[in-house]
Structure 1
């Protein structure tokens, strides 16, 4: 058993985990802020610049489970520190890349390295927080993504241009990685029993159900988030600036919703019960939005639906980590994140094609049915 030399304050460990997760999110999910700069500086089309923007997310898909295994086997601090150090080094190289193919390859590699913080920061929450506080703690940890994206917007405005922004992102990852390496303490782990091998938690249906429900719930989240701005401007004739403020407000509401849902699950003593009820509410709201897209109610409903659809994300991560136990938590959270990111990558393209071929109403109705199906999956008794 790896026993820490000191028992740290759990909220300090959560803060460090959030910082690690957020610093990676600044790069991985903040590159869209550089899209105009990519076009101007490298003379790229919108589609080509979009490929660069999506490169880090592609890299993540290949390594989330691997980093989870590293965190399970060697500890959270090693996974976070090495991953952030590698991310920062790759970003330094990317900042001086003159060829877009090299830049894209480095962005993929940096995304693969940045995936290290996902499972390892979640394991820190799992290990240092008691069950009755874990929902709130994981909810806070999940706010690292929207906060990281918001910080990326500020960073790109302070350091304009591709090279300056990438250098600033590299410095952030390297600096946070150093602090994490110095201060994070791996939580204690159960003593292994000689001759007893850890059984895979996938021998029962419980984890499969949560994974499946979570993937279904990604559909309404990205069907709204990806097209809320376009819907408000093109379908409701809103001013672009006003629409942008409202979509940003929806993100803030969603972050607050993650905290509220975490507290709700702590009080309820269950993750799956609140997750199921939220899926029902999400589905009903999406169907209401589908019926109201051509009316004045469509605008407030799309903002509310965007916020609600992202509020339960922390519940799923807490549920799978608890179901897996400390020996498998990293790998299970890596699998959870891989499935969600895969659906997140596919949803905007499919939803965009459906909106073009049919309507916003039809597309949002299908997304609502996905949420209701997720609730059914979570309700189905385990054999």
Structure 2
């Protein structure tokens, strides 16, 4: 049906965006060797696309409200392709690369602001958890694609080969979106009265935002440092480490789909989110122990950590939109996206500095402790609020 095609295109667009926004860690060895950067400097470059993303999320969201999803996503991905092409064939040094990565991240924010609207526009509450889970697979899929492609491409062709691949990928998806994507129907306004502010008189949305932002810390600790940990601690090659990490990201993508379907069946997003946060804390703590005392279990626990830390993302996004309601979901998702991506921007450089001053295992231990805090502050109402009239199932053209 048409809505599944639109969801597929939106997921592909965000996968391409995530491949470069979150894929720089898989170039860490090449950046250290070719550009002579320290781990802390690499951590700063890792944060550059996310910093650009955060700066542009609201502006792209406003553009999507006015011009629609198709134009916004195609324009943003096309601009990102141009910035990545500049990084591939015209930039050298930390400053030049960093500026181009900021521009690419800011352009890629178009996908984050617009593709989530496909779920709310084309799917009703009975399938929204599954649909959002599928859409949210884009993060582990993008990171997995980067983990699989970046090390061999940079090894064979240097940084130009890796960045060139990302530029071509974004350009191709931009063309597909421009040609085949269709904006969902907009719900008609039912009243002239403004919808009540869901943040006024309730801390529920703020607790969802805060717990989700804290859950980004273990996700990006595992995702950003797994490759260099395997190289430094276990003596793996970057290519073999990237292949293992890609497997972990694939498991993370599957987990988001299964968790989204689970939340549809139980009619609640937040209780599964808290339960998974507790499991995540346990797995990341075990990874810290395996990093302090390296063994054959260390790679397996890293894969488990990468997979489980990805599982809750779709739940937090879906819950935010549902509790905010149709009139406020765009703004609420903007706040949610900003909080998560601000956290994602600061975790790599701060954690890199912390790891450099201590070791890998204290970094994972700190991530596990903060995950416990997240589990505590997840709000768990007894039942999920009933969908509003605008959210109830409606007929959508195939």
With the length of structure 1 as denominator, give the TM-score of the two structures. Answer: 0.83
The structural deviation recorded for 1:72 is 3.3
1:154 matches 2:149: yes
1:161-214 deviation digits (Å, cap 9, x = unpaired): 444554543343333223212322222222224642344332232211110001
Structure 1 segment 228-239 matched on structure 2, within 5 A? 228-232=226-230, 237=234, 239=236
1:4 maps to what in 2?
none
Change (3 A) 1:21 1:187: same
1:5 maps to what in 2?
none
Aligned counterpart in structure 1 of residue 176 of structure 2, from 179, 183, 193:
179
Q: How far, CA to CA, are the matches of 1:36 and 1:71 in structure 2?
A: 38
Change (3 A) 1:183 1:246: closer
1:312 matches 2:305: no
2:326 maps to what in 1?
326
Moved over 6 A (4+): none
Q: Does the CA contact (< 8 Å) of 2:215 and 2:309 recur in 1?
A: yes
Q: Does the CA contact (< 8 Å) of 1:72 and 1:329 recur in 2?
A: no
Q: RMSD of the alignment, in Å? A: 3.3
Q: How far, CA to CA, are the matches of 2:192 and 2:85 in structure 1?
A: 46
The structural deviation recorded for 1:66 is 2.2
1:55-107 deviation digits (Å, cap 9, x = unpaired): 32221120112222332343222321221232234344555535654554333
The structural deviation recorded for 1:377 is 1.0
Q: How far, CA to CA, are the matches of 1:76 and 1:104 in structure 2?
A: 28
Q: How far, CA to CA, are the matches of 1:312 and 1:55 in structure 2?
A: 24
1:278 maps to what in 2?
276
1:122 matches 2:116: yes
Q: Does the CA contact (< 8 Å) of 2:50 and 2:342 recur in 1?
A: no
2:13 maps to what in 1?
20
Q: How far, CA to CA, are the matches of 1:48 and 1:359 in structure 2?
A: 17
Structure 1 segment 203-352 matched on structure 2, within 5 A? 203=200, 204-232=202-230, 237=234, 239-240=236-237, 244-290=242-288, 293-294=292-293, 296=295, 299=298, 300-352=300-352
Query: What residue ranges of structure 2 are gaps of 5+ in the alignment?
Result: 383-398
Change (3 A) 1:266 1:30: same
2:370 maps to what in 1?
370
Change (3 A) 1:105 1:184: same
Tell me the matched-pair count.
Answer: 373
Q: How far, CA to CA, are the matches of 1:356 and 1:149 in structure 2?
A: 23
Change (3 A) 1:27 1:284: closer
Structure 1 segment 161-172 matched on structure 2, within 5 A? 161-163=158-160, 165-172=162-169
1:319-366 deviation digits (Å, cap 9, x = unpaired): 112222333333322322221222223334444454555565554443
1:29 maps to what in 2?
22
1:195-244 deviation digits (Å, cap 9, x = unpaired): 42344332232211110001111222233333444555555x46447655
Q: How far, CA to CA, are the matches of 1:230 and 1:83 in structure 2?
A: 31
